[in-house]
Structure 1
Amino acid sequence: MASAALTEHLTMYIVVRKDLAKTLKWPTGSVITQACHAATAVLHQTSNDDNTKKYLANVEGMHKVVLETKNAETLRSLAESLNTHNVPLYEWIEQPENIPTALATAPLPERSAEVKDAFKKYCSLYR
């Protein structure tokens, strides 16, 4: 029987800017790469956090939600909103262009209504 530490539902949220593909015409692979950069960076940055340790210890049980937001402004607004609720995240800034492209949260347990509302306000499922 799995321990509670391994069965706790943790979710990583990854948000990418939709305008990268639609308006700026970035190739799909480049957009996906931005999401990967943000996800890897937040796991590295929070590697000593208990939730990250639990998440990485249960590779087969990892849960991710990939979302899209309209542009740099909505990505920034989402990051600010999540920061006010102390949600650990990493906002990826693509270099050398210095363009904010994506963000990822550390693995999170079930969150408050305010955090869920921030995702609903600024994001939708990536399509």
Structure 2
Amino acid sequence: MATLVYEHLTMYIVVRKDLAKTLKWPTGSVMAQACHAATAVLHTTRSDPNTIRYVEDYERMHKVVLETKNDETLSKLAESLKTHDISLYQWIEQPEGIPTALATAPIPERSPEVKDLFKKYCSLYR
């Protein structure tokens, strides 16, 4: 009998550190940006097999919340992830039109190149 191997899926959520530090946004407002991005990416990738499996197994959902320096590093990260075919949603807060966060669709463990992108532009959210 074949053994079923469970491929662990992770959603990466990245918010701009300067929202709180420089622009003085309240913590709740920054967390709302992360939630907006996470919800939007699940909606926009709802027919993807990894997203379907991720939300069906909601008790085992895994997320990593990261911070990046500012709008420039958030944009560079988004561009780099797209070149590696990683689906994501970059949240733009309205009516201000400010890019505030991004979330990846649930992804399995990837190549060291993708992990290196997160290391290059992000650190764990503090």
Q: What interval of TM-score do these two structures reach, taking the shorter chain for normalisation?
A: over 0.9
Instruction: State the partner residue of 1:57.
Output: 56
RMSD, aligned CA: 1.2
For the residue of structure 1 that corresponds to 2:107, the secondary structure is coil
CA distance in 2, matches of 1:43, 1:123: 22
- Counterpart check, 1:18 vs 2:21: no
Moved over 4 A (4+): none
Listed as ranges, the gaps of 5+ residues in structure 1 are none
Which string of whole-angstrom CA distances, capped at 9 and with x for unpartnered residues, describes residues 14-50 of structure 1?
Answer: 0000000000000000000000000000000000000
CA distance in 1, matches of 2:31, 2:52: 24
CA distance in 1, matches of 2:4, 2:101: 31
Instruction: State the partner residue of 1:104.
Output: 103
Aligned residue pairs total 124
> Structure 1-normalised TM-score?
0.95
Seen in structure 2, the aligned counterparts of structure 1 residues 57 and 96 have a Cα distance that, compared at 3 Å, is same
CA distance in 1, matches of 2:15, 2:28: 12
Instruction: State the partner residue of 1:78.
Output: 77
Q: Determine what percentage of the aligned residue pairs are the same residue.
A: 77
Q: Which amino acid aligns with 2:23?
A: L
Listed as ranges, the gaps of 5+ residues in structure 2 are none
Instruction: State the partner residue of 1:39.
Output: 38
Q: Which amino acid aligns with 1:46?
A: T
